[in-house]
Chain A
Amino acid sequence: MSVTHGTQTTAGPVPGPTPPEATEATGSHRPDPAAMAAVIAAARTALPPGGVVDDHIRLRTYECDGLTNYKVTPALVVLPETAEQVAAVVRACSEHGVPFVARGSGTGLSGGALPRADGVLIVTARMRAIRQVRPEDQRAVVEPGVINLDVTRAATPAGYYYAPDPSSQQICSIGGNLAENSGGAHCLKYGFTTNHVLGAEFVTPQGEIVQLGGSAPDAPGYDLLGTVVGSEGTLGIATAVTVRLVRLPEDVRTLLAGFESTDHAGAATSAIIGAGIVPAAIEMMDALAIEAAEAATHCGYPAGAGAVLVIELDGARAEVEHELAEVERLCRDNGAFALRVATDPVERALIWKGRKSAFAAVGRISPDYIVQDGVIPRTALPEVLRAIAELSSSSGVRVANVFHAGDGNLHPLVLFDDSVEGAGEAAEKVSGAILDLCISHGGSITGEHGVGIDKAAYMPRMFSDADLDTMQLVRCAFDPGGVANPGKIFPTPRLCGEVPGRRKGAHPLVEAGLAEAF
């Protein structure tokens, strides 16, 4: 099985279609030997033995992130342990015009941590200390390599947790979450990483260490922290992160509702939101996704359902009880033929197991698949789902739908068999057409997976040249030399005027055919 833009990494040859820009944006030319030698020397001076990797076999283990159809072997990998070590490597990169890419756990789904063949991959796996857990301040300070779920584990004894919960939370890192502004099933009520990161110690692309934000809110000056969160590693590297801890709710209730069709499930979702209820999560799965989940996990989803909703309510017990009764009524009113409320943590876990394993479970019904990530206004759900169904039937490409229904974040799984001639291309086409549907309905090309290398080409469909140019003013302020994760997010880099340093001749981006001087 191979997964493109998927949650699993598999060995073997590059699956699926190879996107055209991949080679250019990831450094087609070989590293400048003298520059790279200088960076290696600086890295060896700054880092402990074993922190610098330059043998080809080990370098290859870093050739991709969670988007496995793009693979590039980095010229150098470093495993720093401190902010100063990160800064030393970055400073050397900046001085010698060598690109660098930051990587946490490598679970990203848009290729944000795809290495550069002519650059350095800075891996935060050795920066895993939870420095402080301060329930009295509702804050924790953690290093970027700390696993998302470990923050919650550290805070739970004091009655707190870290709210953003991407489905990879057992392995993904806080640094990666910050770079991607990760979401999760519960962001409907609790928001995204950007709402939960209060401060960061941050290494700029020129190797300065700066403090952005802090324990208290509303730091004076521009909200650079808010700008950095979600910038996909193109503005620098966080080396310590101050996060908000949220009090564990008094009560959590999870409900599973089976519907005849996605239209009914969508109507129930609208009714719940319309009633002024903000559940912690509302997840929807269609028949094909249910079939896959059931085959994989025997999660006991209602037989014959055309759609299920997983609805979670949390908060003060007195409110949750009332909301639960209301949600059950609204589901029934909108045609739910089966309702199950988890009465204990085991049952709750089983309901979630079906949902959380859905991506992987699709592997049981299809040898290959693409995980798409797009957003639509929630009210457009029925219309867009019908359009996806039409796309599917006219192309013969099966699409399983799993999504965060509460906020209109779709994760269509586009199924194909790569051993069939042309199947990958057909799937890629359907996947792209789904993004076009999102854009034409006023939505977004990505709700939580990021743009990375995967969707840079789609950015001009969502934003004007002036929009992209304006965003890149920020890039020029942070990274005038264009060394921080170049080739990601923006299809056409902007040149930033005078670049500090000793570079002569044409700008490397111009030489590489990636940019025009304007």
Chain B
Amino acid sequence: MAAPTADVDLEGARSALASVCDDVVEATAEDGVDGVQPALVARPRSTAEVAEVLRAAAAHHLAVIPRGRGTKLTWGRPPERADLVVDLSRMSTVLDHAAGDLIVDVEAGTPLADVQRAVTGAGQRLAIDDPVGASTVGGALATNLSGPGRVMSGTARDLLIGVTVVRADGTVATAGGRVVKNVAGYDLGKLVIGSLGTLAVVTRAVFRLHPLPTARRYVTASAERPEDAQRLVQAVLHAQVVPAALEVDRPADGPATVGVLLEGTPAGIEERTATALRLLGDGAVAADQPPPGWGYFPWADLAARAGDRRPTALKVTFALSGLARVLAVARTAVQETGARLDLRGSAGAGVLYGALPPDTDPAAVRAVVERVRPVSIELGGALVVVDAPAQVKAAVDVWGPVPALDLMRRVKDQFDPERRLAPGRFVGGI
């Protein structure tokens, strides 16, 4: 692992941190951030304490990696430096659930599952899926985590209504509020979503909630060719059946399955299920339980293997009518390279995730990326290597072309002029 930043006075930093936070320890190998070994881990207990910690870190020029439960810490590029991990796991309280207002106010270290547990009694849910499992609110925001439910409810950007962050210099700032409808001031929540911890440390978030449906039904059908999958997906999109999710799952060794999730009331769901069965044609089946793998990234099984032998994880986005082209070019790329590629995602939102096994030759991964990426770009989207083994990250352009990158750098320069927050993890080396 890389050594800590050379010119940092670690002893001084450690005592400064310890004077403001009662839980500061030496980092162990388990605290490594995608191959980079930090020196210290601080676990502050409140927004104010995070601010003190970040002030101390600033005074000692520490590179800081914010962390929830560390389930997606290898997403993006490895950081250039990592001196201090700011671990938010002690900030895991659901501060307020205003059921009548359909909002929840939580600390960023709260696991998504705990948020769901807190609101489910009132017949509500936070409509952010957790395809990884064990994600915290802060981690879900930093990685813009989403799952099948995005077709109906959108993603974090559509649900986050208020956010508290701590800047690199320790300044605490809040934007938005506790009401769903609010246009006062800039929407800083949008900026931190998907920013991989490079702009500020999120300490608190307020979300709008949705009522839980009282009935659910999954309707699935097999689609032999890419154009079959697209035809079925388009049929569902253009019907008025209002799908909550619309997925395509194409494992490396089999045909694609198109899956529709319907949510509603026991009274309404029967008729809609009949409609969906008709739309998906002969062989379509309805079930009360999700099909295998539903709601998980396609690399979930492969990822069971630990350490740096992790699979390569891709995210491909495209205009909705480009589904067949994406599926087809992915198949071509696989045939050319001999790589094994599982695809799964929200066809109804224009998002597919891809998984390649850990032992795939980096050159083959690069060939797949270079084959599929131009098509996704042509279709108005992008291909991002979400995560990959070190040798793959070294061999491929992880982010691909990023429009408006100069403007993004200027935003980073304003928020973190010394480049101490997760430096290098994000687009263009931000």
A binds B: yes
Known: A136-B321, A222-B199. A211 touches B403 (CB 8 A): yes
Residue of A nearest to B320 (CB): A137
* Contact code string A226-265 (vs B, CB < 8 Å = 1, else 0): 1101110000000000000001111000000000000000
Interface residue? B381 (CB, 8 A): yes
Say whether A477 contacts B186, CB under 8 Å: no
Of B59-67, B280-288, B410-418, the segment with at least 4 beta carbons within 8 Å of chain A is: B410-418
Known: A446-B183, A469-B173. A135 touches B408 (CB 8 A): no
The residues of B that contact A129 with a CB separation of less than 8 Å are none
* Complex CA–CA separation, A199 to B173 (angstroms): 27
**Quick check: is A470 within 8 A (CB to CB) of the other chain?**
yes
Does A210 count as interface, using CB distance less than 8 angstroms? Answer: yes
> At the interface with chain A, which of B27-35, B187-195, B336-344?
B187-195
Query: Least Cβ distance of B383 to chain A in Å?
Result: 9
* Residue in B100, B184, B407 whose CB lies within 8 Å of A210: B407
B47 to chain A, nearest CB (A): 12
- Of chain A, the residue at the smallest CB distance from B215 is A319
Which of chain B's residues has its CB closest to A234's CB? B186
Contact B173 A467 (CB under 8 A): yes
Contact mask for chain B residues 417-430; partner A; CB cutoff 8 A; 1 contact, 0 none: 00000000011100
Which chain A residues lie closer than 8 Å to B391 at the CB level?
none
Instruction: Please state if A377 and B185 are interface contacts (CB–CB under 8 Å).
Output: no
Chain A residues contacting B406 (CB-CB under 8 Å) are 208
Q: Which among A328-336, A401-409, A418-426 touches the partner chain?
A: A401-409
Contact B174 A463 (CB under 8 A): yes
A465-485, CB < 8 A from B: 466-471, 473-478
**Is A187 interfacial (CB 8 A cutoff)?**
yes
Q: Does A34 count as interface, using CB distance less than 8 angstroms?
A: no
Q: A216-B379, A222-B194 are in contact. Are A375 and B102 (CB under 8 A)?
A: no
Q: Chain A nearest CB: distance from B192 CB in Å?
A: 9
Residue pair A135, B319 in contact (C-beta under 8 Å): no
Q: Are A215 and B381 in contact (CB under 8 A)?
A: yes
B319: A residues at CB distance < 8 A: 134, 137, 139, 215-216
Q: A165 → chain B, closest Cβ, in Å?
A: 14
Cα–Cα distance between A134 and B13 once the two chains are bound (Å): 56
Please report which residues of chain B, range 46-96, place their CB below 8 angstroms from some CB of chain A when the two chains form the complex.
none
Chain A residue, CB-CB nearest to B316 = A216
Is the pair B173, A466 in contact by a Cβ cutoff of 8 Å?
yes
- Tell me, yes or no, whether B167 is within 8 Å of chain A by CB: yes
Segment touching A, from B253-261, B268-276, B293-301, B354-362: B268-276
CB within 8 Å of A: which of B231-255?
Answer: 234, 237-238, 240-242
* With known contacts A220-B402, A378-B100, A467–B185 Cβ distance under 8 A: yes
For the complex, what is the distance from the CA of A376 to the CA of B177, rounded to whole Å?
Answer: 10
| Shortest beta-carbon distance from A80 to chain B in Å | 21
Contact between B382 and A216 (Cβ–Cβ < 8 Å)? yes
Say whether A168 faces chain B, with CB atoms less than 8 Å apart: no
Query: Residue B179 at the A interface, CB < 8 A?
Result: yes
Q: Which residues 256-281 of A have a CB within 8 angstroms of B?
A: 270, 273-274, 276-278
Which residues from A are CB-within-8-Å of B237?
Answer: 138, 247
**Which residues of chain A are near B404, meaning CB under 8 Å?**
210-212, 221, 224
Select B181's contact among A192, A204, A223, A270, beta carbons within 8 Å: A192
Question: Is B172 positioned at the interface, with any CB of A under 8 Å from its CB?
Answer: yes
Does A31 lie at the interface of the complex (its beta carbon under 8 Å from any beta carbon of B)? Answer: no
Within the complex, the shortest CB–CB distance from A210 to chain B, in Å, comes to: 4
Q: When the two chains form the complex, which single residue of A199, A218, A248, A322 contacts B315, counting CB atoms closer than 8 Å?
A: A218
Q: B405 at interface (Cβ–Cβ under 8 A)? A: yes
- Which of A139, A210, A220, A469 is within 8 Å of B427, CB to CB? A220
* A442 proximal to B (CB < 8 A): yes
A111 within 8 A of B: no
Min Cβ gap B95→A in Å is 13
Contact, CB under 8 Å: B190 / A227: yes
Q: How far apart are the CA atoms of A489 and B183 in the complex, in Å?
A: 10
Please tell me which one of the listed residues B178, B242, B350 contacts residue A377 in the complex, with CB atoms under 8 A apart.
B178
Is B317 in contact with chain A by the CB < 8 A criterion? yes
Bound: A216/B316 CA distance, A: 10
A431: Cβ under 8 A from any B Cβ:
no
- Shortest Cβ distance from B71 into chain A, in angstroms? 19
Asked whether, in the complex, the Cβ of B240 is within 8 Å of the Cβ of A250, the reply is yes
Contact of B190 among A223, A248, A319 (CB under 8 A): A223
Q: B380's contact among A214, A315, A319, A450, by CB below 8 Å, is which?
A: A214
Q: Which of these, B175, B210, B214, B321, contacts A134 with CB under 8 Å? A: B321
Say yes or no: is A85 at the interface (Cβ < 8 Å to chain B): no
Cα distance A195–B238 in the bound complex, in angstroms: 20
Question: Is there a chain A Cβ closer than 8 Å to B332's Cβ?
Answer: no
* Contacts known (A191-B158, A247-B237); A474 close to B407, Cβ less than 8 A: no
- Whether the Cβ atoms of B265 and A319 lie closer than 8 Å is yes
Which of chain B's residues has its CB closest to A214's CB? B380
Given that A195-B154, A375-B182, A409-B181 are known contacts, is A273 also in contact with B100, CB under 8 Å in the complex? yes
CB of B349 closer than 8 Å to a CB of A: yes
Could you tell me if B184 and A444 are in contact, using CB atoms closer than 8 angstroms?
yes
In the bound complex, residues from chain B placing their C-beta under 8 Å from that of A489 are 185-186
Contact indicator B187/A194 (Cβ below 8 Å): yes
Given A217-B351, A224-B408, A278-B211: A451 in contact with B188 (beta carbons within 8 A): no
B contacts, CB < 8 Å to A: 98-103, 123, 144, 146, 150, 154-155, 157-158, 165, 167, 171-175, 177-188, 190-191, 193-195, 199, 210-214, 234, 237-238, 240-242, 264-265, 267-272, 315, 317-322, 349-351, 376, 379-382, 384, 399-400, 402-408, 410-411, 413-415, 426-428
Given contacts A278-B210, A462-B177, 10 further A-B contacts (CB under 8 A): A195-B158, A222-B195, A250-B240, A375-B182, A377-B178, A443-B182, A447-B182, A451-B183, A474-B414, A477-B414
Give the 8 A-B CB pairs with smallest separation, nearest first.
Answer: A215-B380, A226-B190, A216-B381, A276-B211, A470-B173, A319-B268, A250-B240, A216-B317
